[in-house]
Amino acid sequence: WQDGLTPAQTVALFPGSYMVAIEDDGGRSGFVPLLVGAYITGLTAPDPQHRFDIALSPSFDIARDNGDPLKWLDVQVIVDGQVYTRFETAAMLTADRRFCVTATPSGMSPTGAPLYSAVTVHVRGDAAATATGAHPVRLVIEGVESNPVWLEVP
């Protein structure tokens, strides 16, 4: 970040969409959209209860200074075109088409908000979503979709 008046500085980017203003030395300027989304590193194989996990890159920072980011993040999971319902804990995944988000705590921010080092999305699909074949899995956080992945069931 540099505004021409102060020294360059680093600005934290959280999940979501931004507009970046760019200006060259000639006085020309414009705006560029910047989308910051999760990077899915892998999916686990579904178990007999149709449960599987979506692992996100450890560098995906969900930190916020307005309380617990796990509760405030707008997260959507879509499998085979079916929108799943979010619950707070994995223990609540007792029926099909549900998910929850968990994270490994790594400390506290200067304002007292929790910080996390790893984020996992736990999913309970249904028989159709875990049947033999390839099933598209979409993860949307703060309106920004992650990289495309497919749950491949042999």
pLDDT, tens digit (0-9, with 9 covering 90-100), for 71-86 = 778 899 999 999 999 9
pLDDT, tens digit (0-9, with 9 covering 90-100), for 92-135 = 999 999 999 888 777 776 766 667 767 889 999 999 999 999 99
pLDDT, tens digit (0-9, with 9 covering 90-100), for 21-80 = 888 888 888 889 988 888 899 999 999 999 999 998 866 666 555 556 667 788 999 999
Pairing verdict, β 40-43 and 51-56:
antiparallel
Decide if 12 contacts 113 (C-beta within 8 A): no
What integer pLDDT is reported at residue 12 of this predicted model? 64
Segments of the chain assigned E as strands: 16-23, 29-36, 40-43, 51-56, 75-79, 82-83, 85-86, 98-108, 114-124, 133-141, 144-145, 149-153
